[in-house]
Structure 1
Amino acid sequence: MGRAEAEKRRAAVARLEQLRADGDLSAAHVRLVADGLGVSARTVWRWLAGGGDDPAERQVRPRYALTEADREAYAFYRGNVSAVHRARAAVLDGTGTTAGAPVPGFLAEGWKGARAVDRRTLARAFEAEMTPAEREAWKTGEAGRRAKSVYLRRPEEIRGRVWEMDHKQLPVLVSRPKGKPVCPWMTTIVDDGTRALVGWALAVTPHTGTVLTAMRMALLHDPEVSPFGAVPAKVRIDRGLEFAAGPVRDVLAALAVVPHRLPAYQPHRKGKVERVNLTIEQTLISHLPGFTGGPRDAAGRLYGPVDDSPAALRIAEHTGIGPMRIDDFVKRLADWVAWYNTERPHRALHGLTPLAAWEEDEAPLARIPADKLRHLLLASTERIIGKDGIRFQGLDYVAPEIQGRGGQSVEVRYMPHDDRTVEVYLAGRHLCTATPTGQLTAEQTEAFRQQQREEAERLGRERRRASRRARRELAPMTGTSPATESRLVPAKTGRSASRQALDAALRARASTSLLGIKPITKNEES
């Protein structure tokens, strides 16, 4: 029995003896003490009679203390206490061999002269002297150690002040328009104060544009996309290269947001976004066809309609029959995000949803208009303006400003999964905001046609002006009168000069004089 129990029983016996000395001891007192100590009333009466059964009077048997060799053996045999006991017994017996293999020399040297103990005693010693985290570290590795570790909880933040950002490859197969099915990557931004998923983006592979897209959603206050949106004071990120890219650093610096880069392989330092990622997997992805973490048959194939074997993926690439399309998955994910933010109560928020916690918090928010963030937070690609506009992601985008620019290469900046508009840049300068042809309003359609008419009229005027200029230049060369050029005509001819005198002057200064050839006169000829 442990020392703490012995102390409790010693105190109980002392109290009962005091009651007996005062003449107040009763059977009810004995039963009460017996119930509290988990023993029978007869045992308590025996203690009072001085029968020698009081554990407080007995010597506590010393436990076996682990040696350094025992600890090294625990690590060597990966936490297997039975293997440690067999090896220890083999060394003490002099055989030096266990399970058909010799015991390592450093263990045999460490166990020389040790006393023999049974397996149960050895197991109790490991349990008493090693923490659960230490034991799990040798059994299952770092994941086991973290599962048994205790972490500090950060103080609660107010809304919109701190972000946590993360990349995660989702364990679900989706099919692309071209190529074999893949597991997509998701960039997630969680508000520390309210656990709200304020920004997200999906891509086949993580890249800087994905990060900027998620940041744009988290920064902008657009009720059609997200009810949240604010500029934080700090953002926690891991060592992912996409987070360290120049455009991301430039955005954070421009908005005076302090990036806090966490040490590698310490996901608990951004536990809120990690918890959201796990919730996505548990409540959404695990129910979808193509969930790669689902149960498998004896051959290793996933149960259900989707098989992730290489042969099945090659067949799905050519037939299109297999995992769900990536655009369908994006819609499912968007619906899930709306449900998580607005309907799912959160235990850490005292039963509130993230949106309710956001609205209940009255802390002021730092917000920036969308037009001031346009140049910072969009993914980009190159496109050539065609006859129907700018072809991008299966849609034709048009704007009055692209009139007359067919065949010109432009930069398109966009937010993935939001096809309402794209921003068009020419030579690094913003040209226009383009809208899909099928989503133009009546006013936008009229503005486009008006620009088309004005462009045609402008070019017509330019052509007519150029034609008049050309006629003025070519008229002296095509007329019947001699061409007059200022350097061939005498500087002063007088208004009253006759036409014959003018012709004579021109003949005297014929074009041969321009080449340095002097005309031959009649006198010279003779």
Structure 2
Amino acid sequence: MAEADDTDDVGEQDDEGAPSPVAVPSLATLHRAIRRDLNPGQRAALVGGERARRGHDVHLRRPRQWRNACWEGDHKHVPVEVELNGELVCPWVTWFIDCATNAVTGAAITPHTPSRDAILAALRTAISRDDEAGPYGPIGGLPALVRIDRGKDFLSRTVTSALGALAIPVHDLPAYSPHLKGTVENLNRCAERMLFASLPRYTHAPTASVRRRDRAKDGTAPLTFTAFVERLLDWVREWNTEHTSPALAGRTPLQAWLEDPTPIEDPKPGQLWAFTLEDDGRARTLTSSGVYWRGRYYVGDWMQGLAGDGAKVRIRFLPHHAHEVEVVDAVTGARLGTAHLADAATDEQRAAVRRTRSAEQRRLKKALAAAEKLRTERFAAVTTPRTPEPLQTLTAAQAAAELEAADGRDLQALALPGLLPHAPVPDGWVLPRATTPADDRRPDPAPPA
């Protein structure tokens, strides 16, 4: 059988003047035409959309610069379940990497979705070079540029003001452009392949079944959150001191860092602790009870002898870290010390509150599922074009009873919680007499003689 031609075959007209049927090309001819006229990126876009097309683009490489010329920062969702307070969580890591030497300068790990406090903690670790025996060694200092994506936490006022206090410019990249921060994206990919894939309860592990894995039935013992953080920091230390790269001519990131003669600029003493903290801008009085902030008192042992006489201080704090604050002098700006929450709850109290909240969450979920089941309306299947009939029918009495119960719940929600009904009037009391308009026009009785 001869293969059909690639071009459209316009049929000739028959004796009555009507056009003859057009010959349809075969499926193989259509596939060959698509491969001939569309490049791989366009064919990928037909299958997976724009995101799949971008995987076939070609990107340029930035020229390699010097140490601390540019850092890149990003969040990485760790696909590993770890145990924290009896629950399984997938932590996040926020880290910064030097683009010239591929050295990880600092990292912060959170058991939940990170926010600006994780970024500030990672920045403080990245800039500081005090702990040379830690996982980052002597790597650190002030970068000349920080390159990030358009995450709202990276672009928050707290992070931008903290970097602006040290004159560090921030380059926010366009959205959906991971190739513009390829150094940190490569770090995320290497961390998953070299570390996360080898840990227990790795959620991206392949399975023998085509069905989705039920994580609740996985009997593998998970790592604790503390053990996971220790493993991750050990891997960072190995990355900086033992992992070699062809891009660094076979050297480790630490070797490339130490062999770079570029001077390192460190922050001024006492400046690093303050630049990553927020200031509410209000002056407060240091009393005998401590410093009052957000409805709670904070105290410190250094406050002895300083309370009274209207001493004015200001509060600086790390976002979401309400257990302690930094106190500075409101006039000179000098740091006075750290203050801790005066009446902090014990571990047993926090555990009890957490259990109560979990029970309330389960109750609300169960009530929501029951309400959703009642709200969903099912219809009978039809075989002809007509309006389907509802299957869940209600009697008039059932509908009225449910509406009345709903109205009662709404009235209970609007009622004042402290309102109590009045007690009955005692028998010995004289009640006021109801007056009429005619009584108002009567003259007042004359006073007794």
When normalised by structure 1's length, the TM-score is: 0.50
More helix per residue: 1 or 2? 1
**Count of matched residue positions in the alignment of Structure 1 and Structure 2:** 299
Distance between the aligned counterparts of 1:126 and 1:113, measured in 2?
A: 24
Residues 1:402 and 1:343: Cα distance change in structure 2 (over 3 Å): farther
Structure 2 residue aligned with 1:488: none
**Do the aligned partners of residues 427 and 186 (structure 1) sit closer, same or farther apart at CA in structure 2, a change above 3 Å counting?**
farther
* Partner SS state of residue 375, structure 1: helix
Deviation, 1:184, is 1.2
Q: How does 1:153-232 map to 2 (within 5 A)?
A: 153-177=61-85, 180-203=87-110, 204-222=112-130, 223-225=132-134, 226=136, 227-232=138-143
Counterpart of 1:270? 181
What secondary structure sits across from 2:118 in the alignment?
A: helix
User: Corresponding residue for 1:432?
Assistant: 337
Alignment match, 1:401: 302
Alpha-carbon RMSD: 4.0
C-alpha change, 1:235 and 1:426, in structure 2 (3 Å) is: closer
Match of 1:290 among 197, 201, 206: 201
* CA 379–253 in structure 1, closer or farther in 2 if over 3 Å, else same: closer
Using the alignment, how far apart are the partners of 1:175 and 1:336 within structure 2?
Answer: 20
**What is aligned with 1:128?**
36
> Offset of 1:344 from its aligned partner?
0.3
Residue 245 of structure 1 deviates from its aligned partner by 1.4
Structure 1, residues 137-190: CA drift from partner, whole Å, max 9, x if none?
A: 212334432222111111212110111111121111112226x31111111211
**How far off is 1:425 after superposition?**
2.5
Q: What runs of 5+ residues in structure 2 fail to find an aligned partner?
A: 12-19, 280-298, 308-313, 341-449
Unaligned runs of 5+ in 1: 1-62, 68-88, 93-111, 381-397, 417-421, 436-526
- Identify which of 248, 257, 262 aligns with 1:363: 262
Per-residue deviation at 1:267?
1.1
One-letter code aligned to 2:260: D
Q: Distance in 2 between matches of 1:166 and 1:238?
A: 7
Alignment check: 8 A CA contact 1:216 1:378 kept: no
Task: Tell me the CA shift for residue 323 of structure 1.
Answer: 2.3
CA distance in 1, matches of 2:143, 2:22: 62
- Does 1:349 pair with 2:248? yes
The answer (yes or no) to whether the contact 2:101–2:256 under 8 Å persists in 1 is yes
Equivalent position of 1:330 in the other structure: 229
Decide whether aligned partners of structure 1 residues 245 and 425 sit closer, same or farther in structure 2, where only a CA change above 3 A counts: same
Question: Match of 1:121, SS?
Answer: helix
CA distance in 2, matches of 1:237, 1:150: 21
1:373 to 245, 251, 272: 272
Deviation, structure 1 residue 364:
2.0
Q: Residues 299, 138 of structure 1: CA spacing in aligned structure 2 closer, same or farther, 3 A cutoff? A: closer
CA distance in 2, matches of 1:370, 1:127: 64
> 2:25 corresponds to which letter in structure 1?
V
Separation (CA, whole Å) in 1 of partners of 2:278 and 2:84: 19
Q: Distance in 1 between matches of 2:261 and 2:6?
A: 59
Structure 2: distance between partners of 1:212 and 1:349:
29
> 2: CA distance between counterparts of 1:412 and 1:300?
51
Greater radius of gyration (CA): 1
Aligned sequence identity (%): 37
Structure 1 residues 474-493: Cα deviation after superposition (integer angstroms, max 9, x where no partner): xxxxxxxxxxxxxxxxxxxx
Change beyond 3 A, Cα 1:133–1:247: same
When residues 143 and 350 of structure 1 are mapped into structure 2, their CA distance, relative to the original with a 3 A threshold, is farther
Work out whether residues 327 and 338 of structure 2, in 8 Å CA contact, stay in contact via their aligned partners in 1: no
